[in-house]
């Protein structure tokens, strides 16, 4: 006996067959234990998926960060401009400056906090960056995002390596450089956006 | 492709919003943040990317104050959330990575219907799906969008959606039942 195809099984559990097709599949399943098991298995998965609740609890502090960014809007950037200037002056100074700021959105991470969790200042600047990026011309915004994405991948790769080789000095230095570069790109985007909307140089 | 936002807000709209609908916005956030975060977390499979997506969605929503003040924002917010997530999915390669299994524990609602272990296994299996299959499974099987709606949102053909859906379900079945 030829078994039902995956497509037939899926269309059957989705109710997407014509009455005649449906009857044919049902008749086959009644005589074929293998295909009946397939149908039952897919149904179980579907029932579980459809029963998933949509009420994850958002991370604590997320609202405060959103409200701060939303209120500041395109005029935000008092902090971001200061951050950009400080970034030009050197990473250590920035770290000290940012660490003293209240953190509206401390990432909720359960493990590997020292390696994985972003600095609160990164979350803050990321919010400013999102607002700034969206105010720029689409092509410029896309180019910026590609740059940030590539740095994110480098950061992720290095974090992953650090889980394998915790405390490796060269990896930690690489991670710090990538994070510093990411902050710089985002801060530059914010000042760029600000200059654009103030009619200044772009 | 969807266009949930319409024309970008002008500066006067932004200025008016700054005048202070914070209470309305807070209520709006509390009403919708749970499902926006749930959808974001399932589609991104990454708490950091999910948080950024939620931030992105609500910062944009703030600029449309008239919608949430009038209580007619749910449909619009759903489209905006999908747009943000699908746009990010196209560029954010972090979404392809797997997460530590315990990363979601703190966010799981206490009143989950099935056993916590079954629920975690299901969430982990969704998270482990390839990005395309995960997106389609979440939108169709979890969120309840039709295949043609998913195809429209993703800017792809129904046949492609169906293929990804079948692939995703097969992988879920193997992960959960084998």
Q: Which residue has 């149904």 as its token pair?
A: A43
DSSP E strands: which ranges in chain A? none
The predicted-structure confidence for B6-28, as pLDDT tens digits, reads as follows: 433 333 333 334 334 567 788 88
Between chain A and chain B, the number of residue pairs with CB atoms below 8 A apart is: 161
Domain residue ranges of chain A, discontinuous segments joined by +: 6-50, 62-197
Residues of A in contact with B177 (CB under 8 A): 41, 44-45
CA A10 to chain centre: 31
Task: For chain B, give every residue range classified as CATH 1.10.10.10.
Answer: 116-178
Mean pLDDT over the full length of chain A? 72
Task: For chain B, give every residue range classified as CATH 1.10.1740.10.
Answer: 1-97
Q: Does domain B116-178 correspond to CATH entry 1.10.10.10?
A: yes
| Contact assessment for residue A87 and residue A94, using Cβ atoms and an 8 Å cutoff | yes
Tokens of B42: 């399932």
The predicted-structure confidence for B38-79, as pLDDT tens digits, reads as follows: 999 899 887 778 888 898 899 888 877 666 666 667 778 888
Phi, psi at residue B56, to the nearest 5°?
-60, -45
Tokens of A91: 């990473």
Lowest average pLDDT, out of A16-20, A128-132, B74-78, goes to A128-132
Residues of A in contact with B37 (CB under 8 A): 56-59, 62
State the Cα–Cα distance between residues A108 and A58, nearest whole angstrom: 10
Output the pLDDT for position B141: 94
Q: Does domain B1-97 correspond to CATH entry 1.10.569.10?
A: no
- Contact status of A127 with chain B (Cβ, < 8 Å): yes
- Window A:129-148, CB contacts with B under 8 Å: 130-131, 134, 142, 145-146
CA atoms within 13 A on the CB side of A115: 19
- Contact status of B106 with chain A (Cβ, < 8 Å): yes
Identify the closest residue of chain B to A133 by CA–CA distance.
B56
Identify the closest residue of chain A to B120 by CA–CA distance.
A52
pTM above 0.80, yes or no: no
- What's the ipTM? 0.73
State the Cα–Cα distance between residues A197 and B75, nearest whole angstrom: 31
Q: Which residue has 């499974």 as its token pair?
A: B137
């Amino acid at each position: 006996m030829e078994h039902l195809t995956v497509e037939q099984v899926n269309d059957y559990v989705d109710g997407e067959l014509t009455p005649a097709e449906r009857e044919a599949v049902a008749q086959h399943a009644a005589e074929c234990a293998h295909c009946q098991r397939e149908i039952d298995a897919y149904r179980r998965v579907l029932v579980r998926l459809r029963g998933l609740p949509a009420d994850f609890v958002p991370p604590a502090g997320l609202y405060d960060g959103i409200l701060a960014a939303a209120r500041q809007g395109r005029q935000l950037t008092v902090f971001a401009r200061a951050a950009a200037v400080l970034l030009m002056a050197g990473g250590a100074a920035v770290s000290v400056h940012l660490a003293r700021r209240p953190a509206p959105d401390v990432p909720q991470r359960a493990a590997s906090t020292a390696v994985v969790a972003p600095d609160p200042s990164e979350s803050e600047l990321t919010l400013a960056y999102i607002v700034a990026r969206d105010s720029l011309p689409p092509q410029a915004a896309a180019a910026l995002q590609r740059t940030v994405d590539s740095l994110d991948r480098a950061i992720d790769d290095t974090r992953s390596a650090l889980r394998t080789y915790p405390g490796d000095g060269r990896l930690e230095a690489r991670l710090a450089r990538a994070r510093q570069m990411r902050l710089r790109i985002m801060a530059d985007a914010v000042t760029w956006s600000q200059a654009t909307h103030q009619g200044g140089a772009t | 492709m969807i266009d949930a936002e319409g024309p970008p807000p002008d500066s006067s709209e932004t200025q008016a919003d700054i005048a202070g609908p914070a209470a309305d916005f807070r209520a709006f956030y509390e009403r919708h943040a749970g499902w926006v975060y749930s959808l974001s977390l399932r589609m991104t499979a990454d708490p950091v990317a999910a948080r950024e997506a939620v931030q992105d969605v609500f910062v944009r929503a703030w600029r449309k104050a008239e919608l949430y003040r009038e209580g007619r924002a749910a449909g619009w917010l759903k489209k905006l959330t999908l747009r943000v997530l699908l746009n990010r999915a196209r560029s954010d390669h972090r979404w392809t990575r797997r997460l530590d299994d315990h990363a979601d524990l703190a966010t799981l609602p206490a009143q989950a219907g099935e056993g916590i272990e079954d629920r975690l296994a299901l969430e982990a299996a969704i998270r482990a799906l390839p990005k395309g299959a995960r997106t389609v499974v979440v939108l169709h099987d979890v969120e309840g969008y039709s295949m043609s709606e998913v195809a429209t949102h993703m800017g792809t053909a129904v046949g492609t959606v169906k293929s990804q859906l079948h692939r995703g379900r097969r992988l879920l079945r193997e992960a959960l039942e084998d």
